Structure 1
Amino acid sequence: MARCGANRVDFLFGLPRNARLVSEITGELAAAKAQSRTTGRPARRFRIAMPPQKHRLIRR
């Protein structure tokens, strides 16, 4: 975590799977499953999740 903070990288660790999350990343899950079937190895996909507009921090 310290290395991430020093390099201005934000990470989210241990996010449990839930219906809302799955609905947001349906495309990424399908692509990872297809790649895994093709290669026979685990596949990873990454997505930047932005909060809804009303929750964003506004700096002035």
Structure 2
Amino acid sequence: MIKHWGFWTGWLGIILAVLGFFFDPALGGVSIMLGLITFIFPKKMLASFSIGLGIIVLLLQHI
């Protein structure tokens, strides 16, 4: 059961980061937080992508 939570929180973070590109850059912050939560679970790669995309979204709002 724990593995499934990591899977869903990781993908939710990635989806929110992608939505942050098009709609609201604040979703990048939510994506980073979900990525940090996902590091508790075994899905470390999904967590890394979620954090990375969230940082990119937050940085792009300043350009």
TM-score normalised by length of structure 2: 0.30
Which structure is higher in helix share? 2
TM-score normalised by length of structure 1: 0.31
| Structure of greater relative contact order (alpha carbons < 8 Å, 6+ residues apart) | 2
